[in-house]
Amino acid sequence: MKPHNFSAGPSILPEMVFKQAAAAIENFADTGLSILEVSHRGPQFVEVMHRAQTCVKELLGLTDDFDVMFLTGGASTQFFMTAMNLLGSDQIGYYINTGTWSKKAIKEARAFGNIVELASSEEANFNYIPKPNPIPGNGQFLHITSNNTIFGTQYHKWPETKMPIICDASSDIFSRPMPIDKFGCIYAGAQKNMGPAGTTLVILRKDMLGKTDRAIPTMLDYQTHIDKDSAFNTPPVFPIYVSLLVMEWIKEQGGLGMMQEKNEMKAKILYDAIDASSLFEGTAEQEDRSLMNVTFVCKDPDLTSRFLDVCTEEKISGLKGHRSVGGFRASIYNAMPQTSIQHLVDVMKEFERKS
């Protein structure tokens, strides 16, 4: 029996995607070659790239005003590429600090312009989403992290601002619809909710470019990858292909609206169990609780290791919380079945009964 995988990432993928990807490793598109060895400039993979870009546009409802890129370097590279490409040295970029990844984005961006930390929840160990009001309108953009894997918080209401939003959506991309008109750029590492590690999705509104006159290295220039259709150099062929399979699976499930319904239902099962428990308690403020990463602790810290041992016995994997929060973190991305969440809840209740 396969363990119930609550890992924050690399994370669970749909079972049918594993099967399709495994078949493509043996024989991709009836070429007799593996997806791992076909040319990235051959017609079979060029079609994959175009299908993947089309899926992104269809799922999110993108207009022709946006370009879609599949890059490398993870979201961490986008921390500085966004500022390098989209912010002039004399322009202001506003950032809301909601955790580890926001802090890193702020640090990297400061090399390329005037970065203002508009709000932060660090004083409460990032257990809520700060909501500055009003938001200044004199910046080039507002940068946010939509979901915080470590601290278990998520934006459920997008900031009201006239500035275009740059959003690190690494851990909740394709988990719900997004009001695209608010965003100038969305980027996401694949390995949380879109596919395997190795590629990074970047969605860029075309009018965001051309605002800086700095010299940008060729490989770090968005225009390079737009002009060459994400194939300026050899792209990460396999991660892009598997991400395509995941996006096609999402479409078959009913799209992002249906994903949101399922994710809300799954999260409610777990949060209700936590709230009803005398042994466990959540760490994030209720109005900002993440639908993707549920963080909770034992009220008696001495029981933490015992519960993790029980989880191992019950084939529950990846539940240990990040050291910044402690306790437990259940990552319940799109592909996580409700049965796995119910199994975790049953184990929690039985552990509480015996403790």
The string of pLDDT tens digits covering residues 166-179 is 999 999 999 999 99
Please give the full DSSP string across 264-280, using - where no structure is assigned.
HHHHHHHHHHHHT-SSE
Q: Work out the mean pLDDT of the chain and round it to a whole number.
A: 97
pLDDT bucket at 117, cuts 50 / 70 / 90: very high
pLDDT tens for 220-248 read 999 999 999 999 999 999 999 999 999 99
Length of the chain in terms of residues written: 355
57 is catalytic: no
CA–CA distance, 70 with 88 (Å, rounded to integer) = 24
Mode of pairing for the β-strands spanning 147-148 and 183-189: unpaired
CA 138 to chain centre: 28
Give the torsion sign (CA, 108, 111, 112, 117): positive
Q: Is residue 10 part of a domain?
A: no
Q: Give me the pLDDT at residue 213, please.
A: 87
Q: Give me the pLDDT at residue 174, please.
A: 98
Give the torsion sign (CA, 16, 21, 26, 31): positive
Tokens of 346: 């049953």
Q: Which of 332, 39, 70 is nearest to 226 (CA)?
A: 70
Q: Is residue 8 part of a domain?
A: no
Half-sphere exposure of 167 (CA within 13 A, CB side): 25
User: Is residue 69 domain-shared with residue 136, that is, in the same domain?
Assistant: yes
Average of pLDDT values for 28-38? 95
User: Is residue 109 domain-shared with residue 151, that is, in the same domain?
Assistant: yes
Number of domains in the chain: 2
Name the active-site residue from 67, 101, 103, 172.
101
pLDDT tens for 279-327 read 999 999 999 999 999 999 999 999 999 999 999 999 999 999 999 999 9
CA–CA distance, 305 with 298 (Å, rounded to integer) = 10
Name the active-site residue from 103, 192, 262, 266.
192
Last residue of a domain, one of 253, 273, 299: 253
Name the active-site residue from 67, 168, 172, 288.
168
228 is catalytic: no
With beta carbons less than 8 A apart as the criterion, state whether 135 and 161 touch.
yes
Which amino acid, 151? F
300 is catalytic: no
Q: Give me the pLDDT at residue 225, please.
A: 98
Helix (H) or strand (E) holding 120: strand 114-120
User: Is residue 156 domain-shared with residue 269, that is, in the same domain?
Assistant: no
Query: Do you find a cis peptide bond into 10, omega within 30 degrees of 0?
Result: yes
pLDDT bucket at 89, cuts 50 / 70 / 90: confident
Q: Give me the pLDDT at residue 1, please.
A: 79
User: Is residue 144 domain-shared with residue 154, that is, in the same domain?
Assistant: yes
Last residue of a domain, one of 238, 253, 268: 253
Q: Looking at the predicted structure, is the pLDDT value of residue 332 above 90?
A: yes
Half-sphere exposure of 214 (CA within 13 A, CB side): 18
CA–CA distance, 253 with 49 (Å, rounded to integer) = 22
Looking at the chain, the whole-number percentage of residues with pLDDT higher than 90 is 97
- Give the largest CA-CA distance in the chain: 65
Mode of pairing for the β-strands spanning 141-145 and 165-168: parallel
CA distances 11 to 123, 196, 219, 303, Å, are: 30, 8, 28, 26
Q: Print the domain residue range for 300.
A: 255-354
CA–CA distance, 119 with 316 (Å, rounded to integer) = 37
Mode of pairing for the β-strands spanning 200-205 and 183-189: antiparallel
User: Is residue 171 domain-shared with residue 149, that is, in the same domain?
Assistant: yes
Last residue of a domain, one of 201, 227, 253: 253
Quick check: pTM over 0.95? yes
